[in-house]
Amino acid sequence: MRRTDTAQRGAAIAALLIIPLIALSGCSRAEPETRIRFTAMGTLVEVTIFGTAEQEAEAAAREVEALFGDLQRRWDPWHDGQLGRINATAGTGQVPEVSIELADMLDRAAQISRDSQGLFDPAIGGLIRLWGFQDGDNPPTEPPSATEIERALDDSRPFTELWDGRDRSLRLPAGTAIDLGGFAKGEAVDLAIELIRARGITDAIVNAGGDLRAIGRHGDRNWRIGIRDPRDQDVLAAIEVAGDESVFTSGDYERYFIYDERRYHHILDPRDGQPSRGTVSVTVLHTEAALADAAATALFVAGPQQWEETARLLGLDRVMLIADSGTIYLTPEMEKRVRLREAAASAVVVRSLESH
């Protein structure tokens, strides 16, 4: 019968149309990506591993978790780990015991401190404690008095004076304390990546509270990293990372309080003991996370006037500094790498780091 015949033909054609459409719109391919999150060093740490069987990836991530927990205890400036006990010897005349790993770390920190002309200084623990920024969960609510700050400054010494690179020992006068805050996260991330690599994993990201090191790629595409705007929730710039690279940002929005309509944040200028002014955030790209971490801090303190010189001295070429004024400073290499969102394009100034 023609009617049913046409209807059947119509149905067949429709089926031919629908089935490929359904297939096209079909479910996304399951990708072997494992993400494990845990809390350590006062922040959320996320380990992303690509292309490895879930069980193996999870085991590796848990090993990283244990590593972070261990390092946190060791490097906490105020409690009973190695660094805490070292700080407790301040003013006692005792020479504290420093393990080989810590000595290596302090050597490198001293080098960065010298290169940055003291803008990065791990010996400002006393000042940090005065301000109350040592506990991330309990931020302070008001600034210390000028007198207190002056006294703390008088007590403090540059790290390079306290650390003897030759016999690898520390001598801490009263009122001084080592706080590896601007360096420890980077160091932990480096060690975590080493651990992951040792297990034969080649594609991963270790992200500690937003600061990360990424190795390899995400399958057949690069890792896509978004750099968040310091003032709102949006992504300000996108970067692709492949091979081995760290992305570290220091910002005035990480630990801060507002008092009398002024923002007081945790990145103190070692020269005057006050939160450094003029900069909103600094992002550094570099292979090694520890250097990227310390450098971001140093460059923040250097500010819009001095950052180029400091970046040059530290041997960096990929830096972004966002100033109070809203201007976004980029090195030429950084400009090639970041894709800024539309609205930000007009605020960009590229500076080449060449000595003037």
Give residues in contact with another protein (CB under 8 A).
3-4, 6-8, 10-11, 13-15, 17-19, 21-22, 25, 27-28, 37-39, 42-44, 46, 48, 136-139, 205, 207, 210-212, 214, 218, 223-228, 232-233, 235, 238-239, 247-249, 251, 255, 283
Report, in Å, the least distance between residue 191 CB and another protein: 19
Which has the closest alpha carbon to 329: 337, 339, 319, 315? 319
Q: Are strands 243-251 and 43-50 parallel, antiparallel or unpaired?
A: unpaired
Report, in Å, the least distance between residue 175 CB and another protein: 27
Distances (CA, A) of 38 to 31, 104, 136, 139: 22, 27, 16, 22
* Assigned token pair, 338: 């970041």
**Which CB sits closer to another protein, 61 or 191?**
61
Which has the closest alpha carbon to 250: 260, 271, 265, 235? 265
Rounded-to-integer distance, Cα 62 and Cα 195, Å: 11
Rounded-to-integer distance, Cα 267 and Cα 121, Å: 11
**Which CB sits closer to another protein, 141 or 352?**
141
**Which CB sits closer to another protein, 46 or 335?**
46
**Which CB sits closer to another protein, 6 or 202?**
6
**Which CB sits closer to another protein, 172 or 290?**
290
Report, in Å, the least distance between residue 96 CB and another protein: 30
Report, in Å, the least distance between residue 129 CB and another protein: 17
Report, in Å, the least distance between residue 134 CB and another protein: 13
Report, in Å, the least distance between residue 118 CB and another protein: 27
**Which CB sits closer to another protein, 65 or 121?**
65
Report, in Å, the least distance between residue 179 CB and another protein: 19
**Which CB sits closer to another protein, 156 or 283?**
283
Report, in Å, the least distance between residue 205 CB and another protein: 5
**Which CB sits closer to another protein, 253 or 313?**
253
**Which CB sits closer to another protein, 113 or 283?**
283
Report, in Å, the least distance between residue 144 CB and another protein: 18
